[in-house]
A = this chain, B = another copy of it.
Amino acid sequence: MKYQPIKIIENQQQKLLTPAFNMSSSARCFGTNFLGRLKSPICSSNAEQDDHQLPKFEHFGEAVAIPRGPYSDATLECVRVDMMQNENKSDHHCHLYEGKNNILIVRRAQEFQMTLQFNQPVNPSDNFQIEFYIGIDDNVLNGTKIIISFDGSQTGNWTGRMIQQQGDACVVGITPSADAIIGKYYTSVAVIGSNGISRTQKDSGTDFYLLFNAWASNDEVYMPNEEERQEYVMNENGFIYEEESGDGRQWFYGQFVEGILDACFQILDDSHMPLVNRGDAVKVCRIGSAMMNSQDDRGVLVGNWSDDYSLGTAPTFWLGSDQILLQYVNKGPVSFAQCWVYAGTFNTFLRCLGIPARVITNFNSAHDNTGNIVTDLVFNSVGNQLELNERLTRDSIWNYHCWNEAYLSRLDLPADQNFGGWQVVDSTPQETSDGYYRCGPCSVKAIKEGMLGYQFDAPFVFAEVNSDVYKYKLNSQTGKTELLSVDTTYVGMKILTKSIGETNEPMDITETYKYPEGSSKDEETMRNAERTYKTHLQYDDEQGVAMTLEIPQERVKIGQNFQMAVVFRNLSEDTRTIHGFLVGSTIYYTNIQRAQFKQLTFDVTLKPMETSRIQVVVLAQNYMPKLGCQSNLRFVVTAKSMENNQDMTAIQIVNLKGPELAFAMSGPAKVNQEIFVKVEFTNPFPFSLHDVRMAIQGPNFISYREKLYSEISTGASITWIESCVPTRSGNTMIYAVLDCSVLGNVQGNWAVSVQA
């Protein structure tokens, strides 16, 4: 017997091997090696079916492979199938979807009608059935193949009925099940003879799209109120708030624009989501929140929170979702986005597929990345002064953060908890506790009750609206910290969304997320939540002197000088001598400092119970050079009362208002009549603007156009005149935006009514 000496076997190819494994898996394909694991990958592409053909004629018993003649002995043949697009589309609230080829679009759990034209009168003895297919699995058990027969038998959950049969024509009614897979189906009519079965060939004219149905009471996205359905499913125009006052930006969702519906289904294909899961609105929302951002999965939008957008389009320059989704389809991930761009585009995706959705704005949104519901602000104490420690203040509080709400009944959660209704879904890439770039769906009610154990991502959302702000003084000598104060009201102080109807008025939905501060229910919520979190530090708040910051009532324009005040109220019986320190910086909307532009120290003496104001003048010449294309100023004031060493801190953000665009029309707008629109801008600044980019767009009025001005000097005006031909009567909206490296956020929008 031969044998060899001991020999350790090294695996040379491994280095080559593993990347291949990872590539495929990171593409979310289910592993490269199915042999012995799954017979084949689960079908995860709706588009795949386009190259898939059905045999025109199948012999019976072909499974045992005995070839016979090529023809059916049945003489009945279906010669024409009419999907009755126009009638069905308006019955199903799908008439607004634009598209050259008039493909049928319907919603599930609601009947649509078809007319079948045969080559001869249909006899009771004839045996035919309608078959619908999605993907290439052809499996009646998982809902990728549906068979509708009219002999009383039923396979699966779809139902059909014979409405009318006259000679060689039949009108039938088809009702897809309430949990049917959404996507593009194709249709075949099969006639069963005694020797085999013959089918009509695939024909794009008989394809149809199936969507979620907010009008059907047994669909998980059912929304009872018609006004709400019109707003949250049908409205193409939206408004996203950036100011608690209700100021913000118009956004064009454009879910009915030609190509957008196909883009949304392509996004599902790009996510490699198995078709069999696409009947589940919860899973579709979750996948959507992952796919809207490019991380992990080369999704739709690339985030950028810097000042440099030279490699793409500035987040402030987008007018709506349609340009973004169409660019994604043609060129892959789109640059650049910040939260309102993610939320606006995700909203289009959800409404387009039939899921009721809205964009909400949370003001002072905490960004919990240390896994508790405490946001720490740390101040260095240097001699007698405190200054914000930018390094240790790691949890950021965004001025505002936008996310989406989708309306779902949450069949995946215990029914007795009633977690149905609005659900938080957020596609802005953040440090989620779960480590991946997606968030939700998470029941708004669960957030309100502090029940954070239910999927998905409730703790992260809860922290965004409920964190307490802990202010610490860092002893730079020993490195120890000392709690200064706790602010339980600052974070999530207001949550807004657009009201229903043709208005930009905000609706305050704060109470859907939280009980009134300090109420017993609120304390109960915090108790529930703190099971999940380290309990809070104890802190008793006995202030001697109260310090607040007062900023101007109406918004300050970029380039304006303005005044603000630091106000002290001495609540004690003693005289207090205050030493104060104010720092002004420009910041990003994520509340991260960009640059300091002002430092000021001051002293004030307060008699018992006295109130005193320190006026502070802020000059444009100081903040303008540090502004970049941001429009936020942050003022941090710290003070100490020398008698009792009481430390005081206050933070206030001033959001500057950009210059405006002027708009005019050459006359009243009529359908199919040329008209001229004029957009004007004047440079109000003491310096020239360079490489100024402008865009204009108006649904059914003027298609997207863009223009670049190399320079607009001080005080100079530009006038842009465009010819348009309105294509639909009724009310629409014209959007315009202007952007350059030192000036973002200049936009305008104007409601226009078009006569028939």
Contacts and interface: CB of A to CB of B under 8 A. Distances in A.
B18 A335 contact: yes
A135 to B, nearest CB: 12
A274 B369 contact: yes
A711 to B, nearest CB: 6
A356 interface: no
Interface in A718-748: 718
Given A38-B369, A273-B435, A718-B3, A140 B480 contact: yes
A26 interface: yes
Given A18-B335, A38-B369, A286-B434, A382 B61 contact: yes
A706 B412 contact: no
Contacts of A153: 480
Contacts of A311: 11, 13-14, 17
A183 to B, nearest CB: 15
Interface residues of A, number: 142
Interface string A709-720: 111110011100
A598 interface: no
A477 B276 contact: no
A153 to B, nearest CB: 7
B453 A412 contact: yes
A486 to B, nearest CB: 14
Interface in A264-309: 271, 273-274, 276-277, 280, 283, 286-287, 290, 294-296, 298, 302-307
Interface string A679-702: 000000000000001000000000
Interface string A28-57: 101101111111101000000000000000
A134 interface: no
A521 interface: no
B369 A706 contact: no
A306 B331 CA distance: 37
B534 A179 contact: yes
Contacts of A712: 1
A30 B432 CA distance: 10
A306 B429 CA distance: 37
A601 to B, nearest CB: 13
Interface stretch (A209-217, A588-596, A664-672): A588-596
A286 B305 CA distance: 30
Contacts of A64: 382-383
Interface centre among A145, A149, A271, A303 (most CB of B within 10 A): A303
B693 A312 contact: no
A190 B437 CA distance: 41
A602 to B, nearest CB: 18
Contact of A453 (B17, B129, B417): B417
B63 A306 contact: no
A555 interface: no
A390 interface: yes
Contacts of A131: 479
A302 B383 contact: no
A21 B145 contact: no
A711 B33 CA distance: 30
Number of this chain's copies in the assembly equals: 2
B26 A26 contact: yes
A332 interface: yes
Interface stretch (A223-231, A370-378, A647-655): A370-378
Interface string A109-139: 0000000000000000000010100000101
Given A14-B333, A192-B477, A708 B376 contact: no
A3 B709 CA distance: 5
A165 interface: no
Interface string A455-469: 110010000000000
B383 A274 contact: no
A7 interface: yes
Interface string A377-395: 0101011000000111110
A490 interface: no
Contacts of A313: 11
A142 interface: yes
Contacts of A380: 63
A578 to B, nearest CB: 21
A303 B31 contact: yes
A147 interface: yes
Contacts of A294: 18, 21-22, 25
A4 interface: yes
Given A14-B311, A274-B431, 14 more contacts: A1-B716, A2-B710, A14-B335, A17-B311, A17-B335, A18-B302, A18-B335, A38-B592, A60-B477, A62-B476, A141-B378, A147-B479, A273-B435, A411-B532
Closest 6 CB pairs of A and B: A36-B588, A25-B295, A37-B305, A413-B453, A36-B305, A35-B306
11 contacts: A1-B717, A7-B707, A14-B332, A34-B305, A35-B305, A36-B592, A40-B391, A42-B369, A140-B479, A147-B479, A274-B369
